[in-house]
């Protein structure tokens, strides 16, 4: 069962990630990605979908053409858990290979 992160763990976790930021008015983190075209953007999304399904932890995301905006939070804890930091790091690994 996921647990809500303590503020100091949240801050430390966020510091270890690149370009993820806390959302305004909501305990969640988000990042925007931009790719060459739709094909590359959706290829990225497909790879993230497989990772997310395996973790059983899913993103909220918005895609238009070559842009993908991702928000992560853990519904069960009403905020951020270690799962979000883990998924964010996995997403960055996928993006860095795209």
Binding site for its own copies (CB under 8 A): 38-39, 42, 45-46, 49, 52-53, 58-65
Residues facing 79 on adjacent strands: 74
Identify which of residues 12 and 50 has a Cβ nearer to its own copies in the complex: 50
Identify which of residues 54 and 97 has a Cβ nearer to its own copies in the complex: 54
Identify which of residues 18 and 46 has a Cβ nearer to its own copies in the complex: 46
User: Which two three-digit tokens encode residue 56?
Assistant: 């059983």
Shortest Cβ distance from residue 15 to its own copies (Å)? 26
Residue of 50, 19, 54, 33 lying closest to 98 (CA atoms): 33
Shortest Cβ distance from residue 16 to its own copies (Å)? 25
Residues contacting 71, CB < 8 A, separation 6+: 23, 28, 29, 30, 59, 60, 61
Residues facing 29 on adjacent strands: 22, 72
Shortest Cβ distance from residue 12 to its own copies (Å)? 27
């Amino acid at each position: 069962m996921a647990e809500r992160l303590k503020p100091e763990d949240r801050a430390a976790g966020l510091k270890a990630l690149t370009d993820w930021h806390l959302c305004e008015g909501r305990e969640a983190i988000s990042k925007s990605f931009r790719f060459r075209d739709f094909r590359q953007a959706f290829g990225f999304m497909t790879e993230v979908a497989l990772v997310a399904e395996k973790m059983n932890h899913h993103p909220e995301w918005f895609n238009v053409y070559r842009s993908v905006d991702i928000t992560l939070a853990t519904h069960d804890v009403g905020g951020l858990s270690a799962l979000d930091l883990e998924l964010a790091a996995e997403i960055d690994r996928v993006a860095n290979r795209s």
